[in-house]
Amino acid sequence: MTQFGFPILSVITFLPLVGVFLLATLQGEDAQIAGRARLIALVTSLIVLALGLYLWSAFNPALPGYQFVETAPWLAGLNIAYRMGVDGISLFLILLTLFLTPIAILASASITKRVRGFFSALLLLETMTVGMFAAADFVLFYIFFEAVLLPMYLIIGVWGGERRIYAAIKFFVFTLAGSLCMLLALVWMWRNAGSTDIVTLTHTPIPGNVQDWLFLAFLASFGVKAAVWPLHTWLPDAYGEAPIPGTIMLAAVLSKMGAYGFLRFAVPMLPNAAATFEPVMFTLGVVAVIYVSFVALAQTDMKRLIAYSSVAHMGIIIIGIFTFTVEGIEGALFQMLSHGIVIAGLFVCAGVLLSRGEGLVLSRLGGLAARMPAFAALLMVFSLANLGMPGTSGFIGEILVIVGALKVNFWVSLLAATGMVLGAAYMLVLLRAVLFDKFTRPELANLPDLKAGEYAMLLPLAALVLWLGIYPSNFTHVFDAPVAALVQAHTASLMPHTALAMVTTK
């Protein structure tokens, strides 16, 4: 057990299921159930968040390996155990999930049908996502990774927009196809290492020619989840059709699963293949940054514009991971956090407009800054963070990635940096169209400004954006130890003669 005397990771992971159980036992009329369901879901997610903060306070950033490790026998005879653990890479991703779930719950005021089911699905999603980030066993990871599909499929399909069915099935089939490739890779690696413990797998060498195949399998799976171009085509549909809380979870948390997979499996376990595929990944990342930015520029719908901007930022993250430098990977991790918070803020802003009965077609919005100053200010914060304005979280992540890339390849860093310029272009287009153009319709003049519930969602997000941007070392010092170990192990495995002593991060 851990230093708490109770398995805190398992508690954090499975506590939302208690909420699901409570939701299932609710009795009464529909309206009553809806109110109580919202309250139960919110309280559950806040309790879990508090536990998560406690976890952070007890986390020792000096250790590179897993902490709070829990082990229990599970699949007998196969050397597959229930193993949970958290390190500097996964800690903030878990916290991000815990932080965004209550925001998503607050953002679901517009959900009026089958409310109980919706909140059950959201809490289930929280369990699956946290479990995935906290899993220290590959099979356990895979199970959570796949299980995320189930609640998300329902969230898109039941509560989504007009083309929800198409979007839900496309999302499911794309992800499943990728995941099954990973399952094959998993089975191969399991046979190779004799165990599915992630630490053991990381330290078991794999022959070079096999590594390439395994890497392709991982690329199919994590690439789809992280929406690496050209595997991203499910994303605009899914983001566009999902209800706002679903979009928040998808864009802010689920897209990080792919990047996390690359960092946790593809890079440390397949160092040679990762090095071989570095140019490919750089190309994919750069294409995502530039091409998708232009696609974003051409969007006429606010939600889809933000969705494409998200794909472009995933490109930056991929570039950062595959620089194999401390700066690049820390930048990618930081960008994962920052992007999660910023994109959630932007989608919440979109949700604010939706809840006032407005559409999100850009040409039918405009001039809102005059009537909704608080909304305008907050939307401005998130937009500036999204385009990488210094002082906001977006800047730190992007600059670190660009510095990391510069160490490896000047052109990659130059092309990645153009992403910041293009980001400025489409975000400013968005801001102008929503906030500053003249009123396109007289009704827009009567929109009320933010309400208390909306402040409760947007202010914490904005505060975090500024905290990450102004004092990033609270976060980066947690990354330092595991990322340094990762980069060292990677360098060592590529040059086996020079570095024999240090391949261990147990």
Partner 1 sequence: MTFATPLLPALLLGIGGMVLLLAGVLTKRDRFTFCSLAAVALLILAAIASAVAPDAVLFNGLLKTSLFTRFADTLVYLGAAMALILSLDYNRRENIARFEYPILVLFAVLGMIVMISANDLMSLYIGFELQSLALYITAAIARDSLRSTEAGLKYFVLGALASGLLIYGISLVYGFAGTTNFTSLASILTGGAGYGTVIGIVFVLVGLAFKISAAPFHMWTPDVYEGAPTPVTALFGTAPKAAAMALFLSVMLGPFGHLVAQWQSIIEILSAISMALGALAAIGQTNIKRLMAYSSIGHMGYALMGLAAGTEAGLQATLVYIAVYVVMSFAAFACIIAMRRQGQAVEKISDLAGLASQRPGLALAFAIIMWAMAGIPPLSGFFGKFYVFAAALNAGLMPLVIIGVISSIIGAFYYLRVIKVMYFDNGTPDFDATPAGVRFVMSVGTIATALFVLLPGPLVVAADAAARALMG
Q: Where along the sequence are the contacts to partner 1 (CB under 8 A)? A: 73-78, 114, 117, 139, 142-144, 146-147, 149-150, 153-154, 157-158, 164-165, 168-169, 172-173, 176-177, 180-181, 183-184, 187-188, 190-191
Nearer to partner 1, 78 or 459 (CB): 78
User: In the bound complex, what is the minimum distance in angstroms from residue 147's beta carbon to partner 1?
Assistant: 5
Q: Are 81 and 74 in contact (CB under 8 A)?
A: yes
Q: Which helix (H) or strand (E) holds 75?
A: strand 67-75
Q: Give Cβ neighbours of residue 144 (< 8 Å, ≥ 6 apart).
A: 128, 129, 131, 132, 135
Supply 389's token pair.
Answer: 């304005």
Nearer to partner 1, 15 or 154 (CB): 154
Distance between CA atoms of 17 and 23, rounded to whole angstroms? 10
Quick count: other Cβ atoms within 10 Å of Cβ 501? 6
User: In the bound complex, what is the minimum distance in angstroms from residue 191's beta carbon to partner 1?
Assistant: 6
Q: Which helix (H) or strand (E) holds 70?
A: strand 67-75
Nearer to partner 1, 4 or 82 (CB): 82
Distance between CA atoms of 99 and 471, rounded to whole angstroms? 19
Cα–Cα distance list, 84 to 90, 136, 297, 479 (Å): 11, 5, 42, 19
User: In the bound complex, what is the minimum distance in angstroms from residue 79's beta carbon to partner 1?
Assistant: 12
User: In the bound complex, what is the minimum distance in angstroms from residue 27's beta carbon to partner 1?
Assistant: 14
Nearer to partner 1, 73 or 448 (CB): 73
Supply 356's token pair.
Answer: 């006032």
Cα–Cα distance list, 246 to 67, 109, 251 (Å): 31, 12, 8
Nearer to partner 1, 150 or 499 (CB): 150
Burial class of residue 57 in the structure, from the number of CB atoms within 10 Å of its CB (0-12 exposed, 13-18 middle, 19+ buried):
exposed
Nearer to partner 1, 190 or 229 (CB): 190
User: In the bound complex, what is the minimum distance in angstroms from residue 71's beta carbon to partner 1?
Assistant: 15
User: In the bound complex, what is the minimum distance in angstroms from residue 14's beta carbon to partner 1?
Assistant: 11
Distance between CA atoms of 167 and 235, rounded to whole angstroms? 9
Nearer to partner 1, 237 or 327 (CB): 237
Supply 390's token pair.
Answer: 């210094």
Q: Are 454 and 384 in contact (CB under 8 A)?
A: no
User: In the bound complex, what is the minimum distance in angstroms from residue 231's beta carbon to partner 1?
Assistant: 15
Nearer to partner 1, 29 or 506 (CB): 29
Nearer to partner 1, 184 or 377 (CB): 184
Chain-centre distance for alpha carbon 422:
22
Distance between CA atoms of 477 and 447, rounded to whole angstroms? 44
Q: Are 338 and 345 in contact (CB under 8 A)?
A: no
Q: Are 333 and 260 in contact (CB under 8 A)?
A: no
User: In the bound complex, what is the minimum distance in angstroms from residue 127's beta carbon to partner 1?
Assistant: 10
User: In the bound complex, what is the minimum distance in angstroms from residue 340's beta carbon to partner 1?
Assistant: 25
